[in-house]
Amino acid sequence: MKIELSNNKVFFEDNGSKKEIHPFWLRERVNGESYVDRGTKQRLFDPTELNGNIKIKNVNLSDKFLEVIFSDGTETKLTIQSILNEFSNFNYVKFIEKTKWDSSLSNLNNFEFTNDIFEEKVMYEALVNFYKFGFIIFKNVPTEDNFIVKFANSIGSIRRTNFGEFFDVKSKPNPNDLAYTSLPLAPHTDNPYRNPVPCIQLLHCIENKVSGGYSTLVDGYTVTEKLKKDYPDYFKILTEIKVRYQFIDKEVVLEDWSEMIKLDENQNFKQVRFSPRLDFVPLMDKEKLDLYYAARNKIAELYNSDKYRLEFKLASGDLLMMDNYRLLHGRTSYNTNEGNRFLQGCYIDYDSTEGKLKHLKRKFNI
Ligand SMILES: [Fe+2]
């Protein structure tokens, strides 16, 4: 990629393809201190109020800079690198490649908590691992009540739901969700009925004195790739049919329609939703429903199989951060007579982790 000049025009050349850069695109990027606020990096002018017919009056290109004088009298000096960065459309977070894993994964992405961790390089490393594996575990996080809220807000902003700003996961009478019992929970994603679905769940173990109550995780990405390769018909129908996910209690009715496997605009993995206690498949032809139910059974079998399900015990002070669009989570049953099992949970969205990751990358010049 490089920048070239010809007859007071600026061109962008990439792999033999050469395109003119619109003069107004450059005019919008005029960056002197009377045009851009130094602190916020926001424009001090509104480009929609400018005459769109602005031309380049004079231009000079050196190794590092492009200097332009425009027909409206403004001048600017842009770094070549900043222009190339915009053309590469570089999104660092999307660039972090996912690592597929199954139950043989032995490294549980443990990171030791310290009070200053949110501004340290180790947090950058932890977040990179989060995007690679879909989960990380912070060890020895203070077990104060509500600490989860402070933790979440130190990465970004907490995402409140109708379960509150945070929720207590322990067995309680008359629960509005099976999470608040001692029953086993098969691998599932949280809140598939919400629009948008909360992106990331944080789960902080305050106390775990029971012999059961193991946490389980499954990589939905690995299972999706397996389904795509070995059962293409099942993969196809689960990426096409929108299912109604529903949650009802005394105060609210929440519904959202979505595919069980959602792909992005390039047909790549984007999100899985799986919660067979609250999904409602639409009425379709019998043959199509036969195929749909077979596909759903197969993906449930894979999600629940020992090959893909990671099982481990959260200890007091452990804080698990997991991608609710990629991973499924669950737990084994436990006996409440053995002692307390008490976790606190909350949600944050991807803008929190992406914002923190990019900030730390900038801070440590990585
Ligand atoms: Fe859950």
Residue 173 is predicted with a pLDDT of 65
Structural domains in the chain, CATH included, are: 2-90 (3.30.2020.30), 94-363 (3.60.130.10)
What is the whole-number distance in angstroms between the Cα of residue 362 and the centre of ligand 1? 34
What is the whole-number distance in angstroms between the Cα of residue 325 and the centre of ligand 1? 12
What is the whole-number distance in angstroms between the Cα of residue 178 and the centre of ligand 1? 9
What is the whole-number distance in angstroms between the Cα of residue 190 and the centre of ligand 1? 5
What is the whole-number distance in angstroms between the Cα of residue 312 and the centre of ligand 1? 16
Q: Which helix (H) or strand (E) holds 10?
A: strand 9-14
DSSP string of 174-210, one letter each residue: S-SSGGGSSS-EEEE-S-TTSSSPP-EEEEEEEEE-S
The answer for residues whose C-beta is within 8 angstroms of residue 92's C-beta and 6 or more apart is: 357, 358, 361
Q: How many CB atoms lie within 10 A of CB 349?
A: 18
| pLDDT tens-digit map of 174-217 | 777 777 788 899 999 999 999 999 999 999 999 999 989 999 99
Take residue 24 and report the two structure tokens written for it.
């107004």
What is the whole-number distance in angstroms between the Cα of residue 35 and the centre of ligand 1? 49
What is the whole-number distance in angstroms between the Cα of residue 230 and the centre of ligand 1? 28
What is the whole-number distance in angstroms between the Cα of residue 300 and the centre of ligand 1? 16
What is the whole-number distance in angstroms between the Cα of residue 189 and the centre of ligand 1? 6
The answer for residues whose C-beta is within 8 angstroms of residue 320's C-beta and 6 or more apart is: 135, 136, 137, 202, 203, 204, 205, 215, 314
Where b means 16+ CB within 10 Å and e means fewer, 115-150 reads eebeeeeebbebbbbbbebbbbbbeebebeeebbbe
| pTM of structure | 0.90
Mean pLDDT of 51-61: 93
Q: What is the mean pLDDT of the chain?
A: 94
| pLDDT tens-digit map of 2-32 | 899 999 999 999 888 999 999 999 999 999 8
